[in-house]
Amino acid sequence: MENTETIQVLIKDALKRKQKTISWLGEAMGHDQSWASKLVGGTQKRLSPDQVERIYDLLEIDFSILQKKQTPLLEAITNDPVLAEACGALHKVLQGKFYEIGSLSSKKLHNLGKEIIRIAESGDTPTNIAKRVLAHAQTQGQ
């Protein structure tokens, strides 16, 4: 992933929010302070997929929202009105019965999103997808 100015700002903000230093980030990433300074200063031009995942784990920054590429799930929802309706209903159920989505940590939301994508890509029917996602969400929300 390209290290854009937006990513640098997100990292700086997350460090501030978590009251962590650039040196801490470098060490936590298996590098030194110099590497982390280059990262937040823009000299470090690329992040490997492992580095992106590690930064997410450390700072709870979900970089996937910055990617312009349409995911297979989003494409399926866009092109399939039945799936779109099922996802809309699922969203209402999750908000109304299990928990408020805003009360979940970024990590739990990230894991739930990964599971939804995994289930949706299975090729199952929208009804079965919704049932499986709801069952997973119920166990994760407790």
Distances (CA, A) of 118 to 44, 72, 106, 124: 32, 10, 18, 11
Q: How many CA atoms lie within 13 A of 72 on its CB side?
A: 9
Q: What domains lie within the chain, and their CATH numbers? A: 5-66 (1.10.260.40), 72-141 (no CATH)
User: Of 142, 140, 138, 139, nearest to 90 (Cα)?
Assistant: 138
State CA 51 to chain mean position distance.
14
Does the pLDDT of residue 142 top 50, yes or no?
no
Residue 91 tokens read as: 């969203």
- Average pLDDT score over residue span 26-49: 90
What is the pTM for the complete model shown? 0.47
- The model's pLDDT over 100-136, given as tens digits with 9 standing for 90+, comes to 555 667 777 777 777 777 777 777 777 777 777 767 6
